[in-house]
Structure 1
Amino acid sequence: MNDLRFAQLKAIRPTGKVQQFFDGGGLVMRVTGQGKMTWRLEYRFDGERRSRSLGLFPDVPLAEAREMRDHVRNQIARGEDPDAVVEAPAAETTFGEIVAYFIQNLVDQEMSDATLQKNRWLLLDLAGPLHSRPIAKVRAGDIIPLIQEQIVRGKRETAKRLRSRIAAVFDLGIVMEVCQGNPAIALRSIVPKAEVKHTAAITEEAEFGTLLRTIDNYPNSTIRNLLKMQVLCYTRLGEMRMSRWENINFDEKVMLVPKDIVKVRREHQVPLSRQAIAILAEQQKISGGSNLVFPQLRKRDKPLSENAVNNALLAMGYGGDIHTAHGFRSSASTILNERGFRHDVIEASLGHVESNAVRRAYNRAVYWKERVEMAQAWADLCDKFRGKVSRLAEIEESL
């Protein structure tokens, strides 16, 4: 008796675990944790238990799977060995199909928009030539030209990431039982090591003070206030750009950074100094009722872009090789460490995650008071730096 219906099959959703649905006569729909749906036929011949794949759903529809089941059962009834007859080839899963599963897994894991964008670029654009090929037939020789193209262009880090993402897709393919090996693993040696580029940042106090005074005079009030908040809170730029008023607690003097915009996917709290509260109070009037703290001028539902912030620094004379918006984290970390603040407290304030879960919880509880005190001390130091003049400026003024 047939148990399955087409509507039931269409309604099946991945659960992270293997599921099986029975249609009778040994026909089984097997669904992997990632949602791959394969028809399998379980039967016995001459007392031996056997199993075979009949292809993927919906490429092989329910009616066709039943026909193949009935054909095998008729062979058995006639005393014929089904394995002695050439089977119709199962549908071959393409590399592009597994890429789709891979990216959907990232979405299900609530990865950040930036992570999703990078993976889509690497796997949908750069690895696009592989998509139409059956993943089981993709060889190292098919992947090498894609990687070498990036190396020739001087994009060694991109080449490294591309190989890594392709390898991850093959790992998923192995788990889903659509390929046997991972040809991308052997290609590690063809990717030269990328040069380590540290974020450009000013870490000398007097020069940092000059930067602060320059920011104070920038004409665009929203960008100016965002940069001043970056100085005081040294969050990741995306965390500050996408901050919302609902996550600012003026009474408790705390800014909440939700896990959906945090790189490490864990909620983070930022203590706000008196100076930070004053900037936010001014920005609240400027934002014009937007839910965003730092909205774009013409699109009030969109946050300021990273390019807008770094272009503002460039216009002030601070190019990417001198100081970037992300560099405020390095500036604060270096100066605070040099002034004797506790390293663990600085790391906690930067939102760096302690790998040990117990220690992480301990740090969160114990360091908060010190973090609040350090936030105010840092804001006061920044005011002090604004009053300093660099040695270079002194020399220029004396000429």
Structure 2
Amino acid sequence: MPKLIVPLTDIQVRNAKTKDKPYKLFDGGGLYLDVMPSGSRIWRFKYRQQNGKENRLTFGPYPEVTLQDARERRLETRRLMLQGVDPGKHRDDAKRRLTDRAANTFERIAREWYANKVPTWSERTAKNMIVRLEADIFPRIGSRPITELKHRDIIEALRKIEERGATEIAKRLKAVCSQIFSYAIQCGLAERNQVVDMKDVLKSRRASHFAAIDADELPAFLASLERNEARMFQPTRIALRLMLLIFVRTSELIETPWSEIDLEKGEWIIPWQRMKRGKLTVNPDTTNHHVCLSRQAIALLRELHAITGGSKYLFPNQRDPKKPISNNTLLVVLGRMGYKGRMTGHGFRALAMSTIKERLGYRHEVVDRQLAHAPRDKVASAYDRAQFLAERKKMMQDWADYIDVLSLRPTVTGARTASP
């Protein structure tokens, strides 16, 4: 017959005296208090595993863990045993989960997600992504375990970005955070995507096109460019002229190396790897882009070559000639000319598209090929982009001649220029 154990009382526990050797005060059901010579008193629970081996659990020190607390933990442990769960393994699993939760911070998982995605991105995309995360997201929620993050934590981080007027960046980083949560779920590190249902937490912004002047405003713009009241250096003036004449994307112009241009043949072919659609990670367009240079554009390039021909790029950076000028250079110059909010680098493309179709009578698809846009349907995509090359060359010369004519006419505000 098992020995009958009389349950402990609070007074017995509180008044337990130290001895030269450790001793135990038993409460029954496997629970006892270890009284140490040092004076510490620790609750422990003794039980047998399913294989019959004896094991012990530590419930914690007295008085931090009271007699009542220890008995409640004993009851919880015995319930686990009745369910066939080993209390020791359950304890170890709980500790591991806590450790994993503390280690799996949002930043650690985000960097792991980033490392997996980098091979599919362009160098610029990869750089911009990590810079934005490090500047706007990690300082606010990066150190937090991803499983502890709530909607409010992410919303506050995104709204801080909004407060400085960067609404588009806030919108993009919201999508990035959603991808990181999705990655964590797939890796078994989180159970819920806190961002996926956050549809209306950011300010809505009406979609708008890039600012661009129209054909009627072109004579005044040309006159301003000629007067050069903005005191631009000659390469900058040539850059604006080239944007007007050939209307490539700003990055495609300023990042152009002289090696792409054959001044003797009057040819400029941009490799597909530098084109917007060539940088796509899925089905990139591998068609090189023929810029189609007019006589006026070739003359400007020859003039520019005399100034910057010794550099790698058409428009080298003054501080570091090994790099091209920044994307903002032309935008700043347009602002100094009085066109802030009215004209952008991309605006030259919109201006050319509308004016060439309306004033020079060229077909949309011909202008579209010159803009290096993707065909809108599968039938159009079946055609070789170079099929309009001869027509595009003629169009670009007509466009340059049209601009020359406008430059010679007196500028009258609000007057409508007749089609040539």
The TM-score, its normalising length taken from structure 2, stands at 0.67
Contact in 1 for aligned 2:244/2:348 (Cα 8 Å): yes
Query: How far, CA to CA, are the matches of 1:176 and 1:111 in structure 2?
Result: 25
Query: 120, 123, 128: which is aligned to 2:133?
Result: 123
SS of structure 2 residue aligned to 1:314: helix
Distance 1:387 1:364, change over 3 A: same
Q: Which amino acid aligns with 2:106?
A: F
Matched, 1:302 2:302: no
Contact in 1 for aligned 2:357/2:364 (Cα 8 Å): yes
Counterpart of 2:276 in structure 1 is 263
Q: Which runs of 5+ in 2 are unaligned?
A: 1-85, 280-284, 416-420
Counterpart of 2:356 in structure 1 is 336
Shift of 1:83: 6.4
Query: How far, CA to CA, are the matches of 1:177 and 1:111 in structure 2?
Result: 29
Q: Work out the percentage of aligned pairs sharing the same amino acid.
A: 29
Could you say which structure has the larger radius of gyration?
A: 2
Distance 1:221 1:154, change over 3 A: closer
Contact in 2 for aligned 1:96/1:131 (Cα 8 Å): yes
Matched, 1:390 2:403: no
Q: Mean alpha-carbon deviation: is it higher for 148-157 or for 178-187? A: 148-157
Q: Deviations over 1:165-212 (max 9, x none)?
A: 21122223233332232111111121232132332211124x212312
Contact in 2 for aligned 1:110/1:260 (Cα 8 Å): no
SS of structure 2 residue aligned to 1:187: coil
Matched, 1:233 2:246: yes
Query: 283, 286, 294: which is aligned to 2:304?
Result: 283
Distance 1:361 1:102, change over 3 A: farther
Query: How far, CA to CA, are the matches of 1:242 and 1:103 in structure 2?
Result: 27
Distance 1:220 1:175, change over 3 A: same
Distance 1:221 1:183, change over 3 A: same
Contact in 2 for aligned 1:245/1:291 (Cα 8 Å): yes
Matched, 1:321 2:321: no
Q: How does 1:1-399 map to 2 (within 5 A)?
A: 86-87=92-93, 89=96, 91=100, 92-111=103-122, 113=124, 115-128=125-138, 129-205=140-216, 207-218=217-228, 219-264=232-277, 265=279, 266=285, 267-318=288-339, 320-339=340-359, 340-354=361-375, 359-360=380-381, 362-392=383-413
Q: Mean alpha-carbon deviation: is it higher for 324-333 or for 347-356? A: 347-356
Query: How far, CA to CA, are the matches of 1:260 and 1:119 in structure 2?
Result: 20
Contact in 1 for aligned 2:223/2:411 (Cα 8 Å): no
Contact in 1 for aligned 2:104/2:146 (Cα 8 Å): yes
Distance 1:352 1:101, change over 3 A: farther
Q: Which amino acid aligns with 2:308?
A: S
SS of structure 1 residue aligned to 2:269: strand
SS of structure 1 residue aligned to 2:400: helix
Query: How far, CA to CA, are the matches of 1:164 and 1:173 in structure 2?
Result: 14
Aligned residue pairs: how many? 313
What is the RMSD computed on CA atoms of the aligned residues?
2.8
Shift of 1:222: 0.8
Shift of 1:290: 0.5
Shift of 1:310: 2.2
Query: How far, CA to CA, are the matches of 1:96 and 1:313 in structure 2?
Result: 40
Query: How far, CA to CA, are the matches of 2:376 and 2:191 in structure 1?
Result: 34
Shift of 1:245: 0.8
Counterpart of 1:32 in structure 2 is none
Contact in 2 for aligned 1:229/1:279 (Cα 8 Å): yes
SS of structure 2 residue aligned to 1:377: helix
Counterpart of 2:24 in structure 1 is none
Q: Which amino acid aligns with 2:304?
A: Q
Query: How far, CA to CA, are the matches of 2:382 and 2:237 in structure 1?
Result: 35
Distance 1:147 1:225, change over 3 A: same
Q: Which amino acid aligns with 1:337?
A: K
Distance 1:314 1:153, change over 3 A: closer
Query: How far, CA to CA, are the matches of 1:272 and 1:104 in structure 2?
Result: 42
Contact in 2 for aligned 1:112/1:263 (Cα 8 Å): no
Q: Which amino acid aligns with 1:244?
A: P
Contact in 1 for aligned 2:104/2:189 (Cα 8 Å): yes
Distance 1:224 1:173, change over 3 A: same
Shift of 1:105: 4.4
Counterpart of 1:60 in structure 2 is none
Distance 1:375 1:288, change over 3 A: closer
Contact in 1 for aligned 2:268/2:290 (Cα 8 Å): yes
Q: Deviations over 1:134-159 (max 9, x none)?
A: 22332212211112333444443333
Contact in 1 for aligned 2:261/2:267 (Cα 8 Å): yes
Contact in 2 for aligned 1:248/1:256 (Cα 8 Å): yes
Q: Which amino acid aligns with 1:323?
A: M
Query: How far, CA to CA, are the matches of 2:116 and 2:378 in structure 1?
Result: 25
SS of structure 2 residue aligned to 1:332: helix
Contact in 2 for aligned 1:112/1:261 (Cα 8 Å): no
Query: How far, CA to CA, are the matches of 2:246 and 2:317 in structure 1?
Result: 21
